[in-house]
Chains A and B, each alone.
Chain A
Amino acid sequence: MQLNLDANASYGLLPEVVEFLHRHPAGLHNPSAVHTAGQNARNLIENAREELALLLELGEDYRIVFTSGATEANHTALAIFQEIVRSRGAAEARLVTQSTEHPSILEAFRYYSRTYGAESRVVAWDDDSDRFCDRILSACRGSQAVLLSLMAVNNETGAVLPCPEALSRARSEMPSTVITHCDAVQAVGKMVCTPDILAADLLTVSGHKIGALPGVGALIVNRRLPAGALLRGGPQELRYRAGTENVTGIVTLGIAARYLRENLQRRIRSMTAARNVIMDTLLREIPEISVTTPPDRAVCNTLHLRIAGVRADDLVVALDLGGLCVSSGSACASGKPEPSHVLLALGFTPLTALECVRISVRDDLSIESARSAALQIARAARVLHEAPRSVTSHANGAARL
Chain B
Amino acid sequence: MSNGQLHAAGGSRVVVAMSGGVDSSVAALVLKQAGYDAVGISMQVWDYRKNGGCASRATCCSPDDFTDARRVAGMIGIPYYVFDFEHTFMQRVIEPFLRTYESGETPNPCIDCNSKVKFRELRDRAYGFGCECVATGHYARIEKIGDRYRLLRGSDPAKDQSYFLYMLSEQELARTMFPVGELTKDQVREIAREAGLVTADKEESQDICFVSGRLKEFIERHGTSPRPGQIVSRGGQVLGSHSGVHEYTVGQRRGLRIGGSDKPLYVVELRAERNEVVVGERSDLENHTFDVRDVTWVSPDLIEAVSERDGTIKALAQLRHRHRGVPVTISLTAPGTVRVSFVDEWAVAAPGQAAVFYDLQNSALLGGGRIVRRSVEESKQVQPLAVGFE
A262 interface contact, C-beta 8 A: no
User: How many interface residues does chain B have, given as a range?
Assistant: 20 to 34
Residues in B with CB closer than 8 Å to A398 are 87
Q: Contacts A314-B128, A393-B85, A393-B121 given; indicate if A335 touches B90 (C-beta within 8 A).
A: no
Give complex CA distance A280, B91 in Å.
41
Interface code B23-55, partner A: CB below 8 Å = 1, 0 otherwise? 000000000000000010010100100110000
State which residues 90-133 of B face A: CB under 8 Å. 90-91, 94, 120-121, 124-125, 127-130
Interface code A357-401, partner B: CB below 8 Å = 1, 0 otherwise? 000000000000000000000000001100111110111011111
Nearest B-chain residue to A319, judged by Cβ: B129
Residues in A with CB closer than 8 Å to B63 are 334
Give complex CA distance A387, B127 in Å.
7
Whether the pair B129, A318 counts as a contact (CB closer than 8 A) is: yes
Whether the pair A313, B84 counts as a contact (CB closer than 8 A) is: yes
B157 interface contact, C-beta 8 A: no
B10 interface contact, C-beta 8 A: no
Interface code A308-349, partner B: CB below 8 Å = 1, 0 otherwise? 000001100110110000000000101111000000000000
Nearest A-chain residue to B62, judged by Cβ: A334
Residues in B with CB closer than 8 Å to A317 are 81, 129
Residues in B with CB closer than 8 Å to A336 are 44, 47, 84, 86
Interface code B161-183, partner A: CB below 8 Å = 1, 0 otherwise? 00000000000000000000000
B82 interface contact, C-beta 8 A: yes
User: How many interface residues does chain A have, given as a range?
Assistant: 20 to 34
Whether the pair A390, B84 counts as a contact (CB closer than 8 A) is: no
Give complex CA distance A389, B66 in Å.
25
Q: Contacts A390-B121, A399-B90 given; indicate if A318 touches B128 (C-beta within 8 A).
A: yes
Whether the pair B82, A389 counts as a contact (CB closer than 8 A) is: no
Residues in A with CB closer than 8 Å to B47 are 336, 399
Give complex CA distance A318, B15 in Å.
12
Residues in A with CB closer than 8 Å to B83 are 313, 335
State which residues 267-326 of A face B: CB under 8 Å. 313-314, 317-318, 320-321
Whether the pair B84, A393 counts as a contact (CB closer than 8 A) is: yes
Chain A nearest CB, measured from B221 CB (Å): 8
Question: Which residue of A388, A399, A401 contacts B127 across the interface (Cβ within 8 Å)?
Answer: A388
Residues in B with CB closer than 8 Å to A391 are 88, 91, 121
Chain B nearest CB, measured from A157 CB (Å): 23
Whether the pair A390, B127 counts as a contact (CB closer than 8 A) is: no
Question: Which residue of A384, A390, A399 contacts B86 across the interface (Cβ within 8 Å)?
Answer: A399
Whether the pair B44, A335 counts as a contact (CB closer than 8 A) is: yes
Chain B nearest CB, measured from A386 CB (Å): 9
Among B82, B87, B127, residue most surrounded by chain A Cβ atoms (within 10 Å): B87
Give complex CA distance A152, B87 in Å.
37
12 contacts between A and B (CB under 8 A): A320-B79, A321-B130, A332-B84, A334-B66, A335-B44, A335-B82, A336-B47, A390-B121, A391-B91, A395-B87, A397-B91, A398-B87
Other than the given A332-B84, A401-B50, A401-B51, 17 more pairs (CB < 8 A) read: A313-B83, A321-B13, A335-B82, A335-B83, A336-B44, A336-B86, A388-B127, A389-B124, A390-B121, A393-B84, A393-B86, A393-B121, A394-B87, A397-B91, A399-B50, A399-B90, A401-B94
